[in-house]
Amino acid sequence: MKITFYLLALLWIVLPMSAFSQNKPLKIIMIGAHPDDCDIKGGGTAALFVQMGHQVKFVSVTNGDAGHMEEGGGMLAKRRMAEAKEAGRRLGVTYDVLDHHDGELLATLPIRLEIIRIIREWDADVVISHRSNDYHPDHRYTAVLVQDAAYMVGVPNIAADTPPLRKNPVFLYFQDNFQKPNPFEPDIAVDISSVFDKKIDALDAHESQFYEWLPWIGNYAEEMPKEKEAKKGWLKSKRVFAPNSLTLAALKIWYGESKAGQVNYAESFEICEYGTQPSKEEIKRLFPMLQ
Ligand SMILES: [Zn+2]
């Protein structure tokens, strides 16, 4: 009887502790403007999180219904939804596509509330989105929508039908090359060399983009091979970028001098000034691949 009591008491102490320990999966949400942005900017990092048992959701705020030279409207939105779901399947992430027109996004209150609810429902530890000086208006307004949600996710009277987060997530920006008014600063750089092929596999799922629209709008369609099998190799060759000097400096901080020099492919992120400001230890907990 006494032993049973002690065992029960022990379980009562140990079980809740384990539920809140490092074994609890991290919840990451990446919010891009279009159904391929998260894959391009964070697909490798997402694959690493998934490999380590954590949970990642990609959200596209627009439905991508303008991203083609011959197709458009509902049929294109449907095609892009199917491509996004397939990319998500290949990476092991959940992929949601919101039904807002591509190329026409504005930072409105209803969409802000929608973003707040999505971040809350995912119970996000980390939220990653564009910076607000990105080239595409949809990217800029997605950035504003996410920044506007950063404080409000914890305010109970806003979007009151969805319980507020009691811990503000860490908000991060995807990498970009825009310099004005201020350039991107990589605070976190992730070595994605081991999952680079998986990332390319995810991009390959967006056929309407990487094999049709982007080569057309970029005027390089003629260099793309005709055979389906050769296209993926060509896509990979288009995506090979060695880490730049700033990313390399960030890699050295997280991986050490010698390992950083061997990194072939990286994705980097900047800490947003809104949301929780993580210490170095907290970043290591939230990005367990940085060991
Ligand atoms: Zn985009």
d(CA 241, CA 266): 9
d(CA 209, CA 216): 9
Q: Ligand 1 centre and the CA of 262: distance in Å?
A: 30
Structure tokens at 240: 């090979």
Specify the pLDDT at position 7. Answer: 52
Q: Is the model's pLDDT at 50 over the cut of 50?
A: yes
Q: Ligand 1 centre and the CA of 209: distance in Å?
A: 10
Q: Ligand 1 centre and the CA of 67: distance in Å?
A: 9
Half-sphere exposure of 33 (CA within 13 A, CB side): 26
Q: Ligand 1 centre and the CA of 147: distance in Å?
A: 17
Q: Ligand 1 centre and the CA of 103: distance in Å?
A: 9
Q: Is the model's pLDDT at 13 over the cut of 80?
A: no
Specify the pLDDT at position 20. Answer: 44
The reported pTM is 0.92
Q: How far is CA 86 from the centre of its chain?
A: 16
Specify the pLDDT at position 19. Answer: 41
Specify the pLDDT at position 215. Answer: 97
Task: Quickly state the pLDDT bin for 23 (edges 50, 70, 90).
Answer: confident
Specify the pLDDT at position 263. Answer: 96
Q: Ligand 1 centre and the CA of 64: distance in Å?
A: 9
Task: Quickly state the pLDDT bin for 6 (edges 50, 70, 90).
Answer: low
Residue scoring higher pLDDT (242 or 75): 75
Task: Quickly state the pLDDT bin for 229 (edges 50, 70, 90).
Answer: confident
Q: Ligand 1 centre and the CA of 130: distance in Å?
A: 9
Residue scoring higher pLDDT (14 or 254): 254
d(CA 93, CA 48): 11
Q: What is the pLDDT of residues 251-266, one digit of tens each?
A: 999 999 999 999 999 9
At how many degrees (to 10) do helices 109-122 and 137-152 cross? 60
Half-sphere exposure of 150 (CA within 13 A, CB side): 22
Buried-exposed string 132-165: b where 16+ CB fall within 10 A, e elsewhere:
bbbeeebbbbbbbbbbbbbebbbeeebbeebebb
Mean pLDDT across the stretch 39-48? 98
Q: What is the pLDDT of residues 90-129, one digit of tens each?
A: 999 999 999 999 999 999 999 999 999 999 999 999 999 9
Q: Ligand 1 centre and the CA of 34: distance in Å?
A: 5
Q: What is the pLDDT of residues 128-187, one digit of tens each?
A: 999 999 999 999 999 999 999 999 999 999 999 999 999 999 999 999 999 999 999 999
Specify the pLDDT at position 156. Answer: 98
Mean pLDDT across the stretch 53-70? 98
Specify the pLDDT at position 9. Answer: 53
